[in-house]
Amino acid sequence: MRRRLLAWYRHHRRDLPWRTDPTPYAVWVSEIMLQQTTVTAAVPFYERWMKRFPTLRDLAAADEEDVLRLWAGLGYYNRARNLHRAAMQIVSEGDGEIPHTVTDLMDLPGIGRYTAGAIASIAFGERVPVVDANVARVLARFFAVREEVSTADGQRILWDHAEDLTQTNNPGDLNQALMELGALVCTPTSPRCDICPIQPLCRAAQRGDMHRYPVLRERPEAVEVTEVGAAVERKGRFLILRRPKSGRMAGMWEFPHGPLRGGEPAETVAPMVKSLTGLDIHIDEPLRTIEYTFTHHQITLHVWRARATGGRVHRRSHDAHRWVALRDLMSRPMATAQRRIVEALMESAGGRQLDLLELGEESEESAPI
């Protein structure tokens, strides 16, 4: 199996930027970005990141908001925060060198067994395994693992098999071959067994029951949530709020929004904004309806364009606010759903777009309207 995998990988591996020069830092950044993100989506973010933070010390010296701004659009923002914190920890507590061993790597924020194994094997040649979703699928089919792969028993079996396989002179390539095979050939719904290099040895393929593996836990149904929000304008600038440094979407900027609490969405926007910010507003027009998924929630966010007409900004659940010109909104670290509100504002500006884009610096004023 090792020989077949390594031979296949040498001929079929994708040309990815972090494989060109697999430094420990490059491997680390790429592996964090690839958590919950496809390779296609991650590549442009990786390239921008490495241009802005080419070394670990550059990252450690950066401001967190700058880090989040570069990450905006990738989601799961704790990944970026943990990268930043780990870089600062390495520089402050050590000599600026990324640890070589799985044990030491797992002492860093945001690095678990999989990421530690990937860095140690690919960057340092350590004979340690990795098991992500792709690897779990390959191994579960190859060895016909009957246990549910997310259980303790299932995980133990998969990691034991992976550990056996990495006892080779090329553990990094072996691990990447397993990941690549799962991504390109041994796919979740339509495995391409006819071109698989290990098909003659695969137990599931021999039995013709590839779709029985891996055994997965049934996913809970998504909870549907309706929210209302407003792009509140004052003197050509828009109000955005920054979430606290801990909790969901920590440190990210957003427009005022909240869950629908009875009644029609259009009737609840102004009371929501008043409760959240202390401002009185006039609703101008619907701006956009945005649908997105967050954990097990399917969220529908109805957003209106509005004007501030009175009151003074207070912040009950946020730690900062700004009145920001349209041209500067995209430079703020925002979740994807919030960035879509900015896109809608730019699309709807029409004849006023040039004026809005040319407005000057942001303001933190909280004086009465």
Other beta carbons within 10 angstroms of residue 262's beta carbon come to 6
DSSP 329-343: HTTS-B-HHHHHHHH
Q: What is the CATH number of the domain that holds 84?
A: 1.10.340.30
Please report whether residue 217 resides in a domain. no
Which token pair is 175? 């691990």
One domain, residues 90 and 174:
yes
CB atoms within 10 A of CB 100: 15
Tokens, residue 62: 């950066």
The tens place of each residue's pLDDT in the chain, 369 residues long, gives 999 999 999 999 999 999 988 999 999 999 999 988 899 999 999 999 999 999 999 999 999 989 998 998 888 888 999 999 999 999 998 788 999 999 999 999 999 999 999 999 999 999 999 999 999 999 999 999 999 999 999 999 999 999 999 999 999 999 999 999 999 999 999 999 999 999 999 999 999 999 999 999 887 788 899 999 999 999 999 999 999 887 777 888 999 999 998 888 888 999 999 999 999 999 999 999 999 888 788 999 999 999 999 999 988 789 899 999 999 998 888 888 999 999 999 998 654 443 444 444 445 554 445
Claim to verify: residue 153 and residue 232 sit in the same structural domain: no
Within a domain: residue 327?
Answer: yes
DSSP for residue 24: H
366 part of a folded domain: no
Closest CA to 168 of 226, 117, 129: 129
| Tokens of residue 199, six digits | 């098909």
109 plus 161 within the same structural domain: yes
Exactly one of 31, 126, 180, 254 is catalytic; name it. Answer: 31
Domain that holds residue 84: 2-212
Do 172 and 281 have their domain in common? no
State the Cα–Cα distance between residues 59 and 53, nearest whole angstrom. Answer: 5
pLDDT of residue 366: 46
In whole angstroms, give the CA distance from residue 248 to residue 350.
Answer: 34
Distance of CA 216 to the CA centre of its chain: 23
Cβ-proximal residues to 209 (8 Å cutoff; 6+ apart), any chain: none
Asked if residue 54 has a cis previous peptide bond (ω within 30° of 0), the answer is: no
Q: Is residue 362 part of a domain?
A: no
Count: domains in the chain: 2
What is the three-class DSSP state of 227?
A: strand
- 149 and 23 in a common domain: yes
Q: Given 212, 231, 250, which residue is the final one in a domain?
A: 212
Examine the domain organization and report whether 321 and 264 are in the same domain.
yes
d(CA 369, CA 366): 8
pLDDT of 350 reads 57
Together in a domain, 181 and 109: yes
DSSP line for 48-115: HHHHH--SHHHHHTS-HHHHHHHHTTS--THHHHHHHHHHHHHHHHSSSPPP-SHHHHTTSTT--HHH
Judged by DSSP in three states, 123 sits in helix
Query: Which three-class secondary structure state does DSSP give residue 328?
Result: helix
Residues 148 and 19 in one domain: yes
Secondary structure of residue 309 in the 3-state scheme: strand
Give one DSSP letter per residue of 156-218, joined into a string: HHHHHHHHHHT-SS-HHHHHHHHHHHHHHTS-SSS--GGG-TTGGG-HHHHHT-GGG-SB-PP
- Looking at residue 231, its pLDDT comes to 96
Q: What pLDDT does 363 receive?
A: 52
Whole-angstrom distance, CA of residue 206 vs CA of residue 103: 38
- The verdict on whether 285 is a catalytic residue reads no
The reply to whether 182 and 51 lie within a common domain is: yes
Radius of gyration for the alpha carbons in the chain, expressed in angstroms and rounded:
24
Question: Which CATH number fits the domain that encloses residue 283?
Answer: 3.90.79.10
Single pTM value for the model: 0.79
pLDDT at 356: 44
